[in-house]
Structure 1
Amino acid sequence: MVKSDVADELDRRLIQALQMDGRAPFSRIAEVLGVSDQTIARRYRRLRSRDILRVVGVPPVSYVAEGRWILRLRCVPGAARNVAAALARRPDTTWVQLVSGGTEILCVVRARSEADSEQLLLDRFPRGARVVSIAAHAVLHTYYGSPHVIRGLDALSPDEVERLRPAPAPDTGEIDSLDPGDQRRMDVLARDGRAGLAELAAATRWSQSTVARRLEHLRATGVLHYYAEFDIAYVGLRSVARLWITVPPAELVATGQALAEHREVVFAAATTGPTNLAVQVACRSSRDLYRYLTERVAALPAITHVETAPIVQNVKRVGTHLDIGLGIGPAVGADNDHGRSGPPFGKPRFAPSSPG
């Protein structure tokens, strides 16, 4: 039975299995984990219905965006939750998070072109009484992030990990761009990375066998990967923080690569701005976070400054809206073509993008 506040052993094993291959057949997962197909399917449906676990199919940044930006928005007291909820409804945002203190929001935004990037930052994001300031950090290089796995589960043996790892597909050539049919399939996979071939075929009116071959090709050429997004607090990683780190430019690569080796790190990237490394870490407790900062981070000699910002709530992950108990009006700067707001907040909406 799935507990309400913490994952049991089978939940943890299922989550780690889907990190290895988000589209692995339930029969293969069941065989490796030593349970029935029906048990795995039932567990996944239950976790998915509760927004704890979801697989999304997403292309890498180079295919969907000209640039990524990490935004830090500072709000007047009492406004952050409503602003964060509005930002989460935008299709160009991922990882909308509330920071401790109650006045700061973090989010990742994507632009499809250089011109769109300028318009995105200059015209489309909120300015006004509720938002005091916005700082935009361009992501220059990612040292660790999706499709890398979130470490720390340790629920599978090395042999089980290898049995679940997808076999390398033959690379049949680089794809320069996605055709309209690919985009329609991507839209389906962004909502449900485990969507069946029948649903994917219906989106493009291709045969299921043709769709299957195309998906294999997109995956083999690196245009598509399957990302298992999950509530890390559910697996016991309850102390999450964003670190804003400064190092001399000559030490940026070495420090970024060193941070990427830390099992606590779920994201690490070089950025523009007053700091030049943005890192997110996940620890089991505040005591473990303190130990990480004072032992592992402190051991990196090039670091001259660290700002630690604890994350208190996710409002949106890769593509999943998470209900934080608010009903809101139109998304910030993003009415639809008919002048109406999007669906009520709390219903999942997905963006075809991935953090890192």
Structure 2
Amino acid sequence: MPSRLGLTRWLLRLRCTPDAAGAIASALARRPDVSWVTLASGGTEIYCALNARNADERDAHLLQQLSRTRHVRSVSAHCMMRIFVGDTSTRHASRFRTGRAPCVADSGSRRAPLPLDDTDRTLFAELARDGRATLPELAVATGRSPSGIQRRLQRLSSEGALMFAVDFDPRLLGDHMSTRLWLRVAPAHLRTVGEALVTHPEIPFAAAVTGTSNLVASGIFRDPYDLYEYIDQRVGPLPGVQDIETAPTLREVKRVAPATSFGAWGAWGA
């Protein structure tokens, strides 16, 4: 989880001119601190998840770079206060392979950032490059023994700093409609609704966020009728749900990336 690495995750919602949205989305996708990027709403709206270590990094994005990027008409930033399901927008494996809902990624309890040393950072960088790297390969990259690397991986995993996910295109299994759901939920029911979404196999990701819509989720559906049935029968009846906005995804520009970055900051390139 980003919080275990001292990071705060932000969901950015950008509205761009139609001729530039693709180029801006591609530029965002090249950044290691941006974990996923999608195009929605007729190709003029971009969603992306950004990890920031401190207020300076956050402000560098929001106040200096994005606001000055040509063809960006508006930017809204939503801090992810609690991630109920998953840590990416594309965690489908448990839905299709086991028939169970994805695991809860955030217990809601406050935990201090986990201290990392140079070996830990190297491990994250190597696994981000190739999640199937073997213990001997990781040992060579870090200058440690394979047994020592295995103990580190177990520690990072048990502490919630390292997670492995299987990702694939849901269209291969007949799901052709990915949709972002923005929910406005009464504060007294926010936790209840978020935890209810954990039980829905259609939802690989959900988080409580700042802003008018205080809960955002990613949904995977077979077709528009499947989406309608889900809203009508699964989400609409939940207590406290006051409003639902849907934004079908046109294209996933970037699907999965590491939750942290230890490199230098670059230019937007658009």
Instruction: Give TM class, smaller chain.
Output: 0.7 to 0.9
- What secondary structure does 1:125 align onto? helix
Structure 1 residue 249: Cα displacement = 1.1
Q: Does residue 120 of the first structure (1) align with residue 61 of the second (2)? A: yes
1:1-356 aligned at under 5 Å gives the runs 60-146=1-87, 150=92, 153-155=95-97, 176-319=114-257, 334-335=266-267
Instruction: Give 1 or 2 for the bigger CA radius of gyration.
Output: 1
Q: Tell me, yes or no, if the aligned pair for 1:65 and 1:110 is still in contact at 8 Å.
A: no
Summarize deviations over 1:222-244 as a string: whole Å, max 9, x none: 22221222222222221110011
Q: 1:198 to 1:96 in 2, by over 3 A?
A: same
Q: Tell me, yes or no, if the aligned pair for 2:92 and 2:166 is still in contact at 8 Å.
A: no
Summarize deviations over 1:37-96 as a string: whole Å, max 9, x none: xxxxxxxxxxxxxxxxxxxxxxx2123343111111001122111110111011110110
Q: 1:176 to 1:89 in 2, by over 3 A?
A: closer
- Decide which moves more: 229-238 or 144-153: 144-153
- What secondary structure does 1:98 align onto? strand
Q: Tell me, yes or no, if the aligned pair for 1:146 and 1:227 is still in contact at 8 Å.
A: no
Summarize deviations over 1:169-198 as a string: whole Å, max 9, x none: xxxxx9841110110111000111110122
TM-score (norm 2): 0.84
Q: Tell me, yes or no, if the aligned pair for 1:153 and 1:235 is still in contact at 8 Å.
A: no
Q: 1:99 to 1:176 in 2, by over 3 A?
A: closer
Q: 1:66 to 1:219 in 2, by over 3 A?
A: closer
- Decide which moves more: 262-271 or 118-127: 118-127
Structure 1 residue 251: Cα displacement = 1.5
Q: Tell me, yes or no, if the aligned pair for 2:3 and 2:113 is still in contact at 8 Å.
A: no
- Decide which moves more: 220-229 or 76-85: 220-229
Q: 1:250 to 1:119 in 2, by over 3 A?
A: same
Where does the alignment leave 5 or more consecutive residues of structure 2 unmatched? 101-111, 259-264
Structure 1 residue 136: Cα displacement = 0.5
- What secondary structure does 1:228 align onto? coil
How many angstroms apart in 2 are the aligned matches of 1:152 and 1:295? Answer: 22
Q: 1:245 to 1:151 in 2, by over 3 A?
A: farther
How many angstroms apart in 2 are the aligned matches of 1:67 and 1:176? Answer: 14
How many angstroms apart in 2 are the aligned matches of 1:90 and 1:280? Answer: 22
Q: Tell me, yes or no, if the aligned pair for 1:94 and 1:318 is still in contact at 8 Å.
A: yes
TM-score (norm 1): 0.65
Give the percent of matched residue pairs that are identical in Structure 1 and Structure 2: 41
Q: Tell me, yes or no, if the aligned pair for 2:92 and 2:168 is still in contact at 8 Å.
A: no
- What secondary structure does 2:58 align onto? helix
Structure 1 residue 298: Cα displacement = 1.4
Q: Tell me, yes or no, if the aligned pair for 1:124 and 1:334 is still in contact at 8 Å.
A: no
Q: 1:145 to 1:301 in 2, by over 3 A?
A: same
- What secondary structure does 1:209 align onto? helix
Q: 1:217 to 1:242 in 2, by over 3 A?
A: same
How many angstroms apart in 1 are the aligned matches of 2:6 and 2:171? Answer: 29
Q: Tell me, yes or no, if the aligned pair for 2:4 and 2:160 is still in contact at 8 Å.
A: no
Which letter does structure 2 place at the counterpart of 1:252?
L
Summarize deviations over 1:110-133 as a string: whole Å, max 9, x none: 001233223332223253441100
Summarize deviations over 1:253-284 as a string: whole Å, max 9, x none: 11111222211111111111121111111111
Q: 1:128 to 1:115 in 2, by over 3 A?
A: closer
How many angstroms apart in 2 are the aligned matches of 1:137 and 1:221? Answer: 26
Q: 1:292 to 1:176 in 2, by over 3 A?
A: closer
